[in-house]
Amino acid sequence: MTSATTPWEGKVWSGGWIDGSGGPADVTDKATGETLGQVGTATTEDLDRAVEQARDAQREWAAQPYPARAAVMHKAAQLLEAAPDRLAPWLVREAGSGQGKAAFEVGLVVAELQEAAATAAAPYGEVLRSAKPRLSVARYVPYGVVGVVSPFNFPAILSMRSAAPALALGNAVVLKPDPRTTVAGGM
């Protein structure tokens, strides 16, 4: 499923594909034990660097108007919907999903991306009740950097369910997929 020309082979993403300081880890087919490829692993120093990069990127991302952030979510949904084979085979081989479950999960990821796009356009805040004669308003603002640790059982949707809304609302995300489903959970 991978080749020597795959840019992420043996790498981690941290502003670009780099060698993780923790070395490579095999990605295996759950049914056969066959090695499908390798991903890089990160150390705590790599994580610290990723969080710092995310903090820097988040300021610019949060400053984008909501239609621009929503457009990114829509584009990701369109790309996956047009080519579900970008993800489904990884769910089958790496996560051990059946074909039907993999197709269902891909559909959930597409829906989550579409929902996140809609969330970006949600009301900016709300008017709060007040016993005093004044107007009280709560305004929603991005939090900053959100850490997501995703599990192995539904790796793609459980990663996206946390990452997409956070991104759509102007946050940055540092994602750590389960080591058993690093590709399907990190894609």
Asked if residue 157 has pLDDT above 60, the reply is yes
Residues spanned by the domain of 156: 11-186
- Is residue 6 in a domain? no
Q: State pTM to two decimals.
A: 0.88
Which residue type, as a one-letter code, is found at position 79?
Answer: L
pLDDT at position 117 is 95
Whole-angstrom distance, CA of residue 160 vs CA of residue 70: 15
- Is residue 2 in a domain? no
CATH number at residue 155: 3.40.605.10
Query: How many domains, in total, are found in the chain?
Result: 1
- Is residue 1 in a domain? no
Read off φ and ψ for residue 2, nearest 5 degrees. -120, 170
- Is residue 112 in a domain? yes
pLDDT digits 0-9 by tens, 62-97: 999 999 999 999 999 999 999 999 999 999 999 999
- Is residue 78 in a domain? yes
